[in-house]
Amino acid sequence: MAVALLEKGEVCSGCSFGNACLITPSHAVPLPAPGVIRQALKWMLKEDSPLLIRARPDFRLAAWLLQFAGYCRTEPMLRGIPVLRDLCRASLTLFEEVARAEDLQFHYERRGILYVSSTDAGFEKTKHSAELLARHGFESRALTGPETHALEPAVLETVRGALYYPEDAHGDSYLFVTGLARILPKLGVAVHTGVSVSGLRAESPGKVTVATSRGEFAGRHAVIASGSWSTQLTRQLGIRIPIQPAKGYSVTMARPEGGPKIPVGHNERKMVVTPIGDRLRFAGTLEFAGMDLRMNETRAEAAVRSGREILHPLREPRNLERWCGLRPCTPDGIPIVDRLPGHPHVLLASGHAMLGYTLGPVTGKLVSEMIAGTPPSLPLEPLRLTRFR
Ligand SMILES: Cc1cc2nc3c(=O)[nH]c(=O)nc-3n(C[C@H](O)[C@H](O)[C@H](O)COP(=O)(O)OP(=O)(O)OC[C@H]3O[C@@H](n4cnc5c(N)ncnc54)[C@H](O)[C@@H]3O)c2cc1C
């Protein structure tokens, strides 16, 4: 089957460009969880807070936030954990297969992740999360400050403690995506960059026409996998989808001597420091402010400052690279992988929020199974768009 990939910018110019590069089943608790709204309201006026909702007259954001608030309860959260767990684990297996089988260097490593707490209250909270995840089959180890330092000497021995999840992996998302794009033509996929999709028409069963800045492309199926921009494309077919962009920041530097070898998350600040080959990346913060890709130095700096709070002082080189990207978020924290209602030949694969890199491979697999008509390797029901209606 011939496939064409249409990308308005360069390959990997969206949210996968500068993310935290974690392949992370331990992130299986959906974003909407009990207490999140209360926490967001507390942080509302703090410019450098981990979660910021910028109040503005936006009907769609308001409606989305109301829906999101409805999911911030125990029952939907518990329903979401096994869904994300199974997707993440299936994807991790695919990452391992690709890393073994393909000539693709993306600094893939399986060293787990440390979630470090700088306060006793924060540490107690992570222990509760660990208990919750343990009930869903996740292994973790609670470590004291000195034990954390012994495992990862870059972390200060004075931290209050950490949870270590050995299952997680990490690897350069940019090298992974661009590496795959180089392999694709050998598999019969034509990669078109600088081609912006402006319209979609599902004309008859089995004929979908995609209008672009470089003319029309026709095919049997179209897959909308354009992250936070997916809403603009589904609207061409008269379908509104509940996806809101959540901006996050990263700051990348040459890897300093003595920097961490294991990814380290700061539990209270909701940020992470990831070693990626010869670089070190500080990433985090979540901001609901619409399709706004303007750089806010205060928020970018907050990611680095939070990292410094838990790490031994790093000799930081000056060549810092600042970046921000838009995570496509659904109100229940679970992605949408489904056919569009009334347009069975147009598929949507989006809404992966904080897990879009982790879940990329399994999403591709599920989409290919849907198009090929083979049995799905995981249940599709929790990923249906209709769950929001
Ligand atoms: C700070 C930060 C840290 C993160 N850390 C992690 C992490 O450690 N692990 C993890 O799993 N996830 C992480 N994420 C989330 C992850 O990066 C996203 O979920 C993921 O990149 C979304 O992928 P996507 O392909 O859906 O969207 P994108 O990567 O945004 O790609 C969408 C693409 O569609 C293109 N496009 C848009 N409109 C059109 C059009 N009209 N025509 C043609 N092309 C179009 C865009 O140019 C873009 O390249 C993080 C996100 C942020 C912001």
CB pairs under 8 A, 24+ apart, for 124-132? 125/267, 126/161, 126/162, 126/163, 126/267, 127/163, 129/29, 129/163, 130/163, 132/29, 132/81
pLDDT of residue 318: 67
Inside any domain, residue 14? no
Is there a domain that residue 374 lies in?
A: no
Q: What is the pLDDT of residue 319?
A: 64
Question: Residue 227 C-alpha to ligand 1 middle, in angstroms?
Answer: 5
Measured by CA distance, the residue closest to atom 34 of ligand 1 is 226
Point out the ligand 1 atom lying closest to the alpha carbon of residue 353.
19
Bridge-partner residues for 223, per DSSP?
A: 347
Which atom of ligand 1 is least distant from the CA of 198?
A: 41
382 assigned to some structural domain: no
Instruction: Measure the CA–CA gap between 137 and 69, rounded to whole angstroms.
Output: 27
Q: Flag whether 367 is in a domain.
A: no
pLDDT at 49: 86
User: Which uninterrupted H or E stretch holds 323?
Assistant: strand 321-329
Rg of the chain, C-alpha, whole Å: 21
Predicted confidence at residue 381, as pLDDT, reads 98
Q: Tell me the DSSP string of 296-331.
A: -HHHHHHHHHHHHHHB------S--EEEEEEEEE-T
- Please tell me the residue having the least CA distance from ligand 1 atom 25: 227
Residue 97 to residue 36: CA distance in whole angstroms: 36
Q: How far apart are the CA of 326 and the centre of ligand 1, in A?
A: 7
Give SS3 for 216: strand
How far does the centroid of ligand 1 lie from the alpha carbon of residue 327, in Å? 6
Q: Does residue 120 lie in a domain region?
A: yes
Q: Is residue 142 part of a domain?
A: yes
Residue 1 has a pLDDT of 74
What's the confidence (pLDDT) of residue 317? 65
CA of 382 to the centre of ligand 1 (A): 21
Contact 100, 146 (CB under 8 A): no
Residue bearing the CA closest to ligand 1, atom 20: 356
Which DSSP state fits 142? E
* Residue with the two structure tokens 């003319």: 215
Q: Residues 16-72: pLDDT tens digits?
A: 999 999 999 999 999 999 999 888 888 877 888 888 888 788 899 999 999 999 999
Contact status, residue 246 vs residue 290, Cβ threshold 8 Å = no
Q: pLDDT tens digits for the chain (389 residues)?
A: 799 999 999 999 999 999 999 999 999 999 999 999 888 888 877 888 888 888 788 899 999 999 999 999 999 999 999 999 999 999 999 999 999 888 899 999 999 999 999 999 999 999 999 999 999 999 999 999 999 999 999 999 999 999 999 999 999 999 999 999 999 999 999 999 999 999 999 888 789 999 999 999 999 999 999 999 999 999 999 999 999 999 999 999 999 999 999 999 999 999 999 999 999 999 999 999 899 999 999 999 998 889 999 999 987 666 689 999 999 999 999 999 999 999 999 999 999 999 999 999 999 999 999 999 999 999 999 999 999 97
The residue whose CA has the least distance to atom 4 of ligand 1 is 19
Question: What does DSSP assign to residue 376?
Answer: P
Query: Rounded to whole angstroms, how far apart are CA atoms 281 and 47?
Result: 21
Looking at residue 78, its pLDDT comes to: 97
What CATH number did the domain enclosing 260 receive? 3.30.9.10
Provide the whole-model pTM.
Answer: 0.97
Residue 178 lies in a domain: no
Give the number of the atom of ligand 1 that is nearest the alpha carbon of residue 196: 42
Q: What are phi and psi of 206, to 5 degrees?
A: 90, 5
Q: What is the DSSP letter of 14?
A: S
Burial class of residue 197, CB neighbours in 10 A (0-12, 13-18, 19+):
buried
Domain span holding position 319: 22-61+107-170+244-329
Distance CA 97, CA 85 (A): 18
Helices (H), 15-116: 36-43, 59-71, 74-101
Q: How many domains does the chain have?
A: 1
Q: What is the pLDDT of residue 220?
A: 95
Token pair 């993310």 is found at: 19
Task: Return the bridge partners of 4, or none.
Answer: 190
Within a domain: residue 87? no
Distance CA 33, CA 80 (A): 10
Q: How far is the CA of 351 from the centre of ligand 1 (A)?
A: 9
